[in-house]
Amino acid sequence: MASIPAQRGRRHGRRGAAALVGAAGLAFVVPAAANAGGQRAAGTEPSGDPIKVMTVTTLNANGPTYENIAITAELFADYINAQGGVAGHPLEVTVCDEQFDPAVAATCARQAVDEGMVSVVGSFTYFAESIVPVIAASDITWFGACCPISPSELSDPHSFPIGNQPMYAVGEVKRANEDGCENINAVITEGAAAIFQTPMENAMAAYGKEFGDIILTPEVSQDYSAEVAKAISGADCVVTVMSETPFLTWNTAWAQSGTEIPQYGNQGNLNEISVVGAEEATDGDIIAGMYPDIATEPWDEYRTALEEAGVDQEENDFNSLGGMGTWAAYTAFTQIAETIEGDITAQSFYEAASNTSELDLGGMVPVLDFTQEWTDGLPGYNRLFNRSVVFSVLDNGEVVPLTQEFEDVSDLAMGIAPS
């Protein structure tokens, strides 16, 4: 385990994930489909210089933390290295904990540059503005993020998000209207309104409606009773955008209110962890997401890796943006890196990603074209290549797949009525 001042860094090649997931000496069963193009084979030892990448997220902080991102990043390295690595080279992952501090996030960025990282892969942070401009100056990509929420993530040419935040919130509005909701209130965590509110209001306008009320909630609260009372007042449905930790407190207040109003929430946050104790009150609630449920076929290899590594899947939610988003990011990184002739560097990967017009991850997300920005879409959101959603439903506290076909919400996000 390596560390630098003011942050905790995790680095591992073939076996270092043991420190995080408790699985030393991992032995994976490699599905035949994993041997893409015959470039990898089970049991082949990777060799040569490692391909160094970084994942940035929050691990030690008073607010929300994302251990599932760190676990998945390191798990993928063990998994792919057991198959012969990336283009025959060992994949070496460094997890940089930004501790919910923009200054530490900037330190992560400088470390990525100083240590010659090929890319920063599958990350999530509220402080990407402290990272993306720094790494972009060295042609290091911010690759595969599930949840772009900052201007640089949504507009910088070195940003290649695979997820589509805030489009899943548009999906909530879509589903609520199609389910027949007439009087809809919105609940959005403070700070998120800057990127979520406009597309959500546009979607309502596309259906010829407006929100009855928009309630902005604090990121951390001991009691959301007052906000819940306001949210359900005069509404027959509520669409909600918040993180997992506040959702747990929110759902406690939701259950205590006695409401039977349907709630629409966001993937990986309105989940089996955040509804504990409120299973009855949230039964039938709809979850809008950007990735199909982990129980579906696209995630067969991910489930295998989690199970064979003995990862505790109750302590952290891997049926989530952080979990599935990070696995999808690393899968995409590997697919693109293996198209590169010659050395895999930050510059060669940036060029390869920029010229990828048909990224097919087998149904984890729609087929993506990184050569076509969303220039005719929402201003400032031009790097959103994926603008489709899928849905799940809560069934007595369990998340169950509801749909698997991707539904494009680009027009709704711009206020264009569905055809």
R_g (Cα) of the chain, nearest Å: 21
Is there a shared CATH topology between the 3-165+295-354 domain and the 167-289+388-413 domain? yes
pLDDT, one tens digit per residue, over 342-371 is 999 999 999 999 999 999 999 999 999 999
The burial of 354, by beta-carbon neighbours within 10 Å (0-12 exposed, 13-18 middle, 19 or more buried), is given as: middle
Q: Looking at residue 418, what is its pLDDT?
A: 84
How many Cα atoms are found within 13 Å in the side-chain-facing hemisphere of 157?
12
Contact present, 67 and 316 (Cβ < 8 Å): yes
At which residue do the structure tokens 């540059």 appear?
Answer: 113
The pLDDT of 180-202, averaged and rounded, is 95
pLDDT for the residue numbered 1: 25
Q: Return the CATH class of domain 3-165+295-354.
A: alpha beta
Can you give the residue ranges of every domain in the chain? 3-165+295-354, 167-289+388-413
Q: Which of 118, 155, 154, 113 is nearest to 131 (CA)?
A: 113
Assign 3-class secondary structure to 230-262. Answer: HHHCCCCEEEEECCHHHHHHHHHHHHHHCCCCC
Q: Which of 3, 137, 55, 50 is nearest to 343 (CA)?
A: 50
- Say how far apart CA 157 and CA 383 lie, in whole Å: 7
Give the integer Cα–Cα distance in Å for 311 and 80: 17
Q: What percent of the chain stands above pLDDT 90?
A: 83
Give residue-wise pLDDT tens across range 134-169.
999 999 999 999 999 999 999 999 999 999 989 999
Do residues 263 and 282 lie in contact, with contact meaning Cβ atoms separated by under 8 Å? yes
Distance CA(95)–CA(67), nearest Å, equals 10
| DSSP classification of residue 297 | G
274/317 Cα distance (integer angstroms):
10
Distance in angstroms (rounded) separating the CA atoms of residues 333 and 221: 37
Which phi-psi region, left, alpha or beta, contains residue 199 (left: φ > 0; alpha: ψ -120 to 50)? alpha
Rounded to an integer, the average pLDDT of 370-399 is 96
- In angstroms, the CA 56 to CA 125 distance is 7
* pTM tops 0.85: yes
Which amino acid belongs to residue 379? P
Q: What is 133-153 written as a DSSP string? A: HHHHTTT-EEE--S---SHHH
- pLDDT tens column, 261-290: 999 999 999 999 999 999 999 999 999 999
> Cα 69 to the chain's mean position, in Å?
9
87 Rama sector, left if φ>0, alpha if ψ -120 to 50, beta otherwise:
left
Please give the Cα distance from 94 to 113 (Å, whole number).
13
- Tokens at residue 312, please? 């505790």
Query: Please, which pLDDT band fits residue 78 given cuts at 50, 70 and 90?
Result: very high
182-194 mean pLDDT: 94
pLDDT at 42: 58
Domain 167-289+388-413 fold is Rossmann fold (3.40.50)
Position 102 scores a pLDDT of 97
For residue 173 the two structure tokens come to: 């509005």
* DSSP summary character for residue 46: P
**Mean per-residue pLDDT, 86-92:** 97
Over range 324-340, report the average pLDDT. Answer: 98
Query: Which segments within 276-359 are labelled E, that is strand?
Result: 286-289
pLDDT in tens, 31-67: 333 333 334 455 589 999 999 999 999 999 987 789 9
Quick one: average pLDDT of 225-236? 98
- Determine the 3-state secondary structure of 41 from DSSP: coil
**What pLDDT sits at residue 186?**
98
* Contact present, 397 and 275 (Cβ < 8 Å): yes
Mean pLDDT across the chain, nearest whole number? 89
Residue 351: CB atoms within 10 Å: 13
